[in-house]
Amino acid sequence: MPPNTKQPQISRHPTEIRRSAEFKYFYSNAFSLGMSSNELILRFGLAENPATPTDMTDQVGVILSLVGAKSLAVALAETIKKFEADSHTTIPFPEDKLSEMRASLAAGMTTNPIPNK
């Protein structure tokens, strides 16, 4: 890693949480992603019919560095793993949905609904 590149800081126990006046929570049942050579672009939105993810209304977009994106991926995976272990349950994710997502990503199509169940 180049000497002037900063690693993203991950804090599990922030001592102070600050939010801008514009901070909002959004519900999302669909997302899309795109990548460039140095960024990941995430868009979260609403699909009236999750069976047709291309009919998504964007609500918010987030752009991350690739290091930040990988950090987010690890944090999400570990958080879900801990939740499942602590709750003695497995979050259901249909195998056909996983196959559909993999095929969509391989084809360069990146809009995916979040499975309902």
pLDDT at 7: 56
pLDDT at 103: 85
pLDDT at 39: 93
pLDDT at 117: 44
pLDDT at 1: 45
Give me the average pLDDT of each 10-residue run along the chain (117 residues). Answer: 53 74 91 88 88 80 95 96 96 88 77 52
Residue 65 neighbours by CB distance under 10 Å? 14
Distance (Å, whole) CA 116 – CA 87: 20
Threshold 0.75, pTM exceeds = no
Task: Extract the tokens encoding 110.
Answer: 């990146």
Domain range list for the chain: 30-113
- Find where tokens 């006046």 sit: 21
Residue pair 99/91 in contact by the 8 Å Cβ criterion: no
Burial of 47 (0-12, 13-18, 19+ CB in 10 A): buried
